[in-house]
Amino acid sequence: MAMISRSSTTTFPTTMRHSSSLRFGDAATIASSSARSLTRSVEEGYPLGNWIGNRRAAFHGGRLDEVKVLELERVIGWSWDPEQDAWEDAVERVRRYVSNGAVAPIKRSFIDSDGFKLGHWANNRRAQHRKGKLPKDRVAVLESINGWTW
């Protein structure tokens, strides 16, 4: 199934409805909000976070209709794998940190210019690594960054 890039202005059409009368527009509102936990989101009594999780599971299982895939991918902020996206975002922040000549290791208290607690994130990855819980592919990514230290 081919992925398409998200439009910067598209939201869900409100004409597409879930059996429980959930509007895709509602999902767009929640998916675009980085301040909310989608897995626990409830809107007007409807467990929207569950609905979003079910759409992601159906997509990964190849059970989501192509039209719905395309509509979801046009939502600003939509992600099929938010955990992976968060990982990639944090790794890019580490790369920027060291490329700016910052001293490694990243201090636990370091917060980048837009409020991301990069020091806390790095400290957690180091703790996972010490405990043998950081996947090898992620260890390799971090070790490939010039200036990363455990």
Number of domains in the chain: 2
Domain end, chosen from 60, 80, 100, is at: 80
**CA 133, chain centre distance (Å):** 20
Question: Against a cut of 0.75, is the pTM above it?
Answer: no
Dihedral, 132, 40, 10, 83 alpha carbons, nearest 10: 0
Longest Cα separation, the chain? 54
Q: Do 43 and 89 sit in the same domain of this protein? A: no
pLDDT of 3 reads 32
Going by pLDDT thresholds of 50, 70 and 90, the confidence category of residue 78 is: confident
Q: What is the pLDDT of residues 48-68, one digit of tens each?
A: 778 888 899 999 999 999 999
Contacts of 39-48 with CB under 8 Å at 24 or more apart are 46/20, 46/22, 48/22
Asked if 110 contacts 119 with a C-beta cutoff of 8 angstroms, the reply is: yes
Q: What is the pLDDT of residues 87-100, one digit of tens each?
A: 999 999 999 998 88
Q: Do 108 and 92 sit in the same domain of this protein? A: yes
For residues 97 and 103, give the distance between their C-alpha atoms in angstroms, rounded to a whole number. 9
User: What range defines the domain where residue 128 resides?
Assistant: 82-143
Q: Do 11 and 76 sit in the same domain of this protein? A: yes
- 125 token code pair: 């990855």
For residues 109 and 21, give the distance between their C-alpha atoms in angstroms, rounded to a whole number. 45
